[in-house]
Homo-oligomer: A and B are copies of this chain.
Amino acid sequence: MKIEEVIKATVPMSLPKKIILNIMYTQNVIGENFNEIVKAHDLSPEQYNVLRILRGQKGKPANMCVIQERMVAKTSNTTRLVDKLLLKELVTREVCPDNRRKMEVAITQKGLDLLKELDPVIDSHEEKFTKNLTVEEQETLNTLLEKYRNA
């Protein structure tokens, strides 16, 4: 569906406006789809994100700053996200012995198991949208988005 149909536009829009709306709306579609997936496992999208970041640390714990700077939505409240994950015993949180200002957050086995369970579902979610594009088109989309963003 073209973006004009999505928002039922009555007048023609400029190309810049169409692109913005297209990006906003596409993110919305992806986000809702993703939300359904993680919600079925009692996670919010951002909670999943934190778990994924922690797994990427390969055993090494991460402090709050590190988690924050690796998140896509940079303004999330990391403290409260980790609070929720702690309650579900998916992560641990301890004061860093070298620097007591910092916290060491690590994923638990339970957390790793949950991610493993989610992996194939997430993968197919990612591929679901991509499958309509050729590899060449995928590369182009990626490049154009990066070029666009760096204004």
* Number of copies of this chain that the complex holds: 2
Main secondary structure of the interface of A (DSSP, over half): helix
Q: Is A2 located at the chain interface by the 8 A CB criterion?
A: yes
Enumerate A107-143 residues with CB–CB distance to B below 8 Å: 123, 126-133, 135, 137-142
Partner of A126, one of B7, B20, B130, B131: B20
Contact yes or no, B71 A149, CB < 8 A: no
Contact yes or no, A22 B145, CB < 8 A: yes
Name the segment of A26-34, A85-93, A97-105 touching the other chain.
A26-34
**Contact surface of A with B, Cβ cutoff 8 Å:** 1-3, 6-11, 14-32, 56, 69-75, 123, 126-133, 135, 137-142, 144-151
